[in-house]
Chain A
Amino acid sequence: MPYESLLIQVVLVLLLAPLVQGVIKNTKARFQSRRGPGYLQPYYDYAKFLRKDYVVSPTTSWVFHVAPYVYFGAAVAAALFVPTLMNTGVTFNNLFILVYVFALGRFFLAAASLDAGSAFGGMGGSREMYIAVLVEPILMLTLFSVAMGAQTTTLSGMAAWASGTGLTFSGLLAALAFLIVLVAETGRIPVDNPDTHLELTMIHEGMVLEYSGRPTGLIFWAASVKQLVLIVVFVNLFVPWAPPFVEGTVLSWALFALKVLVTAVLLAAIETSTNKIRLFRAPGLLAAGGVLALLALAAQ
């Protein structure tokens, strides 16, 4: 197993994830006629957070302390599984493990949200698990529409198949479904709002409300890693021209970077052009995603 490429990949994903976050924030601000923070602002934020002292409630237990590390670890592990820039030689990068590794991080963070004993944290945790309940089956359905065609559940095999078949109608439908999932999974409008933790919107941000300082830095960083990993999966499966881990040329890497950036801009555009929907409207939106995924399967 080529360990050095594994290491390079994870370092790249860890280092570039805040940049993608910065691009999304900045683009969103521009869409809203603001100047917005610089592209590098997330780096400064996370670095600052990591250096800061933090306040912990005496109500909490070790679960509260461990959860950010597990969340980060799960995000890093996902970054290792998913084929990005090069062939890492990880053969078991199948879609189930991706879904369940994310679920592991979420499990601990949601449990920790109950640990400080405030109603806000618990509410965030409750809603996060509720959204996860809706998202997980749809995410699987969407990935399945590619996996069924490829007759394999490994993400690298699916990506290779997708690059071979190119753009199809079925792929387009599945791409739409995945976009809905992507928006929900990364806690963006219309499902959640990443910029605030007011009661009306608090899902992910509400869940991590009790954290401060260093653990917050880890959680934010891990969330951005998770976001980048999902964008990479999207790009690999649904914008599948010249996947860099197959071709391995500088041109394909450049193209890949461009595709990721365009997806980031697209996310910002979706966030700006839609409204936050009510929490109990989310099932309808995700069901639409599910129907799209089923249609994609039927269209094959």
Chain B
Amino acid sequence: MKLWYVSALCFYALGICSPLFAAKRPAVSNVLAHFAAVLGSLALLGLSLTIITGNGETLRFAWFAPLGDILVTLDGLSALFLLALGVVGTAASIYAVGYTKEYYGHRFASMASLYNAFLLSIVLVLTVSQVFYFIIAWETMTLVSFFLVNHEFEKAGNTKAAYQYILMTHVGTAFIVAAFLILSSSVESLDFAGLAGAQLPGGLRNLVFACALLGFGTKAGVIPMHVWLPEAHPAAPSHVSALMSGVMIKTAIYGMCRFFLEFLGTGPQWWGVVVLALAIVSSVLGVLYACVQHDLKRLLAYHSVENIGIILLGVGSGMVFMSRGQALPAALAWMAALYHVFNHAVFKSLLFLGAGSVLHGSGTKDIEHMGGLIKRMPVTALLFLIGAVAISALPPLSGFVSEWLTFQSMFHLPAAMSGLLGKLWAVILIALLGLTGALAGACFVKVVGVTFLAKPRSAGAAKAHEAPVSMLAGMAGLAAVCVAAGVCPQWMLAVVGRAVAGLKGVDSAGMLAQSDWLTTMLPLGSGGDSLAMPFVAVLLLAGCLMALGFARLAGKAKVVTGETWTCGIVPTARMEYSATGFTEPIRRVFKAILRPVVEIKAEKEPNPYHGVRMTFSVHITNIFNEWIYNPLCEGVMFLAENFKRIQGGSLQVYIGYIMVFTVIVLIVSNRG
């Protein structure tokens, strides 16, 4: 186990160093760095598989370091996240070999090196179990990804996005540090094992909960702390976006698991309710904003906000069940959340890599300028479609399984809530999750339809080219995992069950007791709630084959090619339904939230009877910036302006300040 771990770290370290030696020859450093990253990620896969198939032992070891030993813990929870990182890391690194060729001559060596450092820091975050080094690893992860987000600083907006990202996450880190400091000062331990089950007075305990939720919530992109996410993820190179969206924001979920499951343990019910409220806001608003986006990568970033919401719905339900002492539903809810962590890591990376291929092939991120790419990039289109079906939670792919588990766990939420209002609220939560699923479906119909189908809408799209084999191979691996985790969920269920096994208030063994390879049986309610994904897949396939059979039975039908009827005019791409048009009904129904501002401009011509050129644009108001962040910024600037007056530049005044301050300190300290 330790060997796998050390070799993964060594490969990544090698990957960090190698491009710097061959900086003059990018082709060499490309192969070296990404080959090392692939090896490191494969070693991670080996590591997580060893932990998962092992006998449930936790490996703990310490390395000597000047500021205290570095403690490393490899347990089931780490293994699950490492598995996700291993899968996504392998695929993204293979993909990067082809994708990063565009960056030759654009600080390529530093990018390849930082990419490895990013992977390395995520591994450390997921395994280091000592407060001090955890925070260092956490900070390293943030800083490295900051440089990756800012890599293409020539492009307008990227630097702003990067600074917004680092500012927001640093505020988050402050909260995390506060949470850790309160905890470790009260139990006088920096070791995670010592923090587990810490006995704190109620008020402090709530404070730790709030700090952890705010801190990790910022990194996860929970609304309203999400504003950095849709800016930073699109700015990074696509293979990095895949890692950021797929794995990095999940490290926040990992942190929450550590805090809410291990350190704090079972809390009062309102903790769960608060998490649920944040979760539902994130999922519904996340998907709504995604629906009205046309920048492919930003759209995917908003879907990350949505999916973090879905994960947190599981987390919040789990906390409510734990507070009620219901170990079985709690296990189901946590398992659902963790399963969705893995699934989202896989399909979101697949989609981001797909978006990268599209960008690489057509040169644009705006889906309104794409179209018809399925003909020019058939493999990318197929793989992207698989990701889209998975993220829309449609059977038989992976997204459906974890969403089904989330639904099933939330089904028992009304019974755990007190009062009629609480019960109705819980039911409405489930309906809103249903709404989220439906909106995600609508959004991905738009993405797939407008990006890949029909006629190309721009010259770039018409001349698009398929991605090289390495990029396709990386995506194909992820697509295969999407299918496998959907059709045969049992193995992954056992993995997530093991991740939360042995924790107080969660009975994952009991939850899985009645399941076998075919059927997931939930021992809850009046019984009988089950899911047999292999069977579902077979039934769906049988249905399709039946349709084929009926078509055959009816005899031979000739397929005639005929141009789309457009009332006698030659059809062009301008007659196609646009992405803006496709989501117009949704924009209209949810206008209270989205606040679209429509602008129609008509160019005046001397002759009013000739056609005038009309331009239509719609702008979605970012209420979070307008209501929260802009006033906050203004407040900070106002304070700064006023504090400036103190700084007069005269030395005497400064000495005066020091004297006044010393006197105050003396008075205060004498009192104490």
Contact = CB atoms under 8 A, between A and B. Distances in A.
Interface of A: 47, 50-64, 68-70, 72-77, 80-81, 90-92, 94, 96-97, 99-101, 103-104, 106-107, 110-119, 121-123, 125-127, 129-130, 132-141, 144, 147-148, 150-154, 156-157, 161, 210, 213-214, 217-218, 222, 279-280, 283, 290, 294, 297-298
Contacts of B558: 53-54
Contacts of B452: 61, 63
B12 to A, nearest CB: 39
Interface of B: 372, 374-375, 381, 385, 389, 392-395, 400, 404, 407-408, 411, 414, 420, 423-424, 427-428, 430-432, 434-435, 437-439, 441-442, 444-446, 448-450, 452-455, 519, 525-532, 535-536, 539-548, 550-551, 554-555, 557-566, 571, 573, 575-577, 581-586, 588-589
A18 B529 CA distance: 32
B563 A58 contact: yes
B454 A117 contact: yes
A119 B577 CA distance: 5
A193 to B, nearest CB: 17
Nearest to B540: A77
Given A74-B543, A100-B394, A210-B564, A294 B557 contact: no
Contact of B573 (A117, A129, A210): A117
A126 B582 contact: yes
Nearest to B565: A118
A136 B453 contact: no
Contacts of A69: 544, 547-548
B473 to A, nearest CB: 22
A70 B544 contact: yes
Contact of A61 (B375, B400, B434, B527): B375
A280 B588 contact: yes
A141 B531 contact: no
Contacts of B562: 55-57
A133 B435 contact: yes
Contact of B585 (A64, A70, A127): A127
Main secondary structure of the interface of B (DSSP, over half): helix
Contacts of A103: 392, 394, 437-438, 441
Given A76-B543, A111-B449, A114-B576, A151 B442 contact: no
A57 B564 contact: yes
B438 to A, nearest CB: 4
Contacts of B546: 72-73, 76
A56 B540 contact: no
A110 B394 CA distance: 14
A125 B565 contact: no
Nearest to B520: A92
A21 B395 CA distance: 27
B455 A55 contact: no
Contacts of A92: 519, 530-532, 535-536
Contacts of A133: 435, 438-439, 442, 586, 589
A70 B437 CA distance: 19
Contacts of A75: 543
4 closest A-B pairs by CB: A122-B577, A73-B543, A114-B449, A76-B543
Contacts of A111: 445, 448-449, 453
Contacts of A280: 585, 588-589
A74 B394 CA distance: 11
Contacts of B545: 73
11 contacts: A50-B550, A57-B561, A57-B562, A63-B452, A92-B530, A94-B530, A97-B536, A118-B576, A153-B407, A218-B547, A290-B431
Given A69-B548, A70-B544, A218-B551, A154 B528 contact: yes
A151 to B, nearest CB: 4
